[in-house]
Amino acid sequence: MADILTPALGESVAEATIAKWTKKVGDPVKRDELLVELETDKVSLEVVSPADGTLGEIAFAEGDTVTPGAILGKVTEGAAAPAGEAAPKAEAKPAEAPKAGGEASVPVQVPTMGESVAEGSVGTWQKKSGDRVSKDELLVEIETDKVAVEISAPADGVLTISAEAGSTVTPGQVIGQIAASGEAAAAAPKSEAAPAKAASGSDDPHLSPAVQRVVAENNLDPKSIQATGPKGNITKADALKAASQPQAAAPAAPAKAAPAAAPPRADQPREERVKMTRLRQTIARRLKESQNTAAQLTTFNEVDMSAIMALRNRYKDAFEKHHGIKLGFMSFFVKATIAALKELPAVNAEIDGTDIIYKNHYDIGVAVGTEKGLVVPVLRDADVLSLAGIEKGIGDLGRAARDGDLTLDQLQGGTFTITNGGVYGSLMSTPILNMPQAGILGMHNIVQRPVAIDGKVEIRPMMYLALSYDHRIVDGKEAVTFLVRIKEHLEDPQRFLLDL
């Protein structure tokens, strides 16, 4: 088959719309015959047939948006060409058949990545063109601005890659082909090569790039790591758990013998240019859009954490024994935040054009720092959860974020966000709004400070609180009152029980 490719559209043109197909699937076509017309915001383009044959597949319908390099469809060469020209092509086809074991090829396609995700970037391929692969074997990850989507082999056979690492792709786009071969699944060369690949770690089919780094840095044997991920793959958490075990440290001994006499930066360039990941690009774009859109202002307060810390220390063992999870500070902050949001609904609202949408539900986003960047998974209906339910929900979301297992649904639709820079030692900050939300609460480090209590100086565990808010919808009085209410609830946690 010959691919029908979207041509380059111009330096400033990133996409085009399919205006019209001139042929239907099954119609005979000739080389250089017009097949499809594309429209951009500047010009119209014609795409012609790359070969004689039959139009075997249309990948994008009229009205769809495509990007340069996208495969629009396929032409089955020689199937319906004139008799005088078909014979040479029909003879040429079997010459390539041995590569695929004489059977038809199966496309490797980009899956649907969510309603609001229109494109992604191809990550590092776990296999090379010409390698044999097994069905359901991990081939590559597609990185979107929200999650990473794994693509596995749809069949046994030999892989041909058509979209290299770093390429921008769209849902449904064909990024490779697998020449189906009945011998591929049981081929002796593949099964013999497996141990060698497993020993190297980085070529193991079940290792994502994040797991590869953990394996390489800790000299782990992937075969000895217990896999708990979907489809039997090793997650980053699995690798970190294996690295923390005593036996994982043994292989690191030879590394100590390596000479350390090289001068600083002797084997490193003074500068290194690295392309931003799609997630980092999205973080940068959304934060700048947030600053440009909202009238952002930050107000501060401080809270005495003595009561919360005493309550937590008194009941943490019984809490963990009863609920199976540790009692942290986040559940108290979520409860206090929801109480304040109910009193001041503007902080739980958003602007849509000239309308204000007041939210009568409380889906709290909790910012989580991961290896790839900051993500904000959402704890749904947090107002109906107990302290234990909140702790469990936040724990599950945090693990999913760090393992790269978050779904799009878990990242969308929050009404208010809490971010905790205190875990990194931050004393004070001005968090940026997570648009279109109207408010974000910043927690910070707990520091022993002298404060005046009833005319006396005492040392208390104090935390600064910061509320960044959209001044277009939230007035200063409401913002200050919001933080005061949180302070009151945290300094007197019995208010939770009395619903005050």
Known catalytic residues?
471, 475
Q: Strand 105-109's sheet: what is its strand order?
A: 105-109, 174-180, 157-161, 132-133
**Burial of 419: CB neighbours in 10 Å, binned 0-12, 13-18, 19+:** buried
Tokens of 218: 């800790």
Provide the H-helix boundaries in 266-354: 278-293, 306-323, 330-343
Tokens of 473: 């919808």
Q: Which of the 8 DSSP states describes residue 30? A: -
Contact 410, 390 (CB under 8 A): no
Question: What is the 3-state composition of the chain as percent helix, strand, coil, each rounded to the nearest 5?
Answer: 35, 25, 40
- Give, in order, the Cα–Cα distances in Å from 271 to each of 265, 268, 274, 284: 11, 8, 10, 22
Contact 58, 5 (CB under 8 A): no
Antiparallel, parallel or unpaired: β 439-443 and 28-29: unpaired
Tell me how far apart the alpha carbons of residues 435 and 152 are, in angstroms, rounded to a whole number: 34
Q: 256 in the Ramachandran plot: left (φ > 0), alpha (ψ -120 to 50) or beta?
A: alpha
Tokens of 478: 């409401």
Provide the H-helix boundaries in 376-455: 387-403
- Give, in order, the Cα–Cα distances in Å from 270 to each of 60, 123, 267, 277, 404: 46, 26, 10, 22, 32
Choose among 215, 224, 219, 156: nearest CA to 191: 156
Cis peptide before 436 (omega within 30 of 0): yes
Contact 167, 119 (CB under 8 A): no
**Burial of 16: CB neighbours in 10 Å, binned 0-12, 13-18, 19+:** buried
452's enclosing H/E stretch is: strand 447-453
Choose among 21, 81, 24, 27: nearest CA to 51: 81
Tell me how far apart the alpha carbons of residues 16 and 9 are, in angstroms, rounded to a whole number: 8
Tell me how far apart the alpha carbons of residues 440 and 432 are, in angstroms, rounded to a whole number: 7
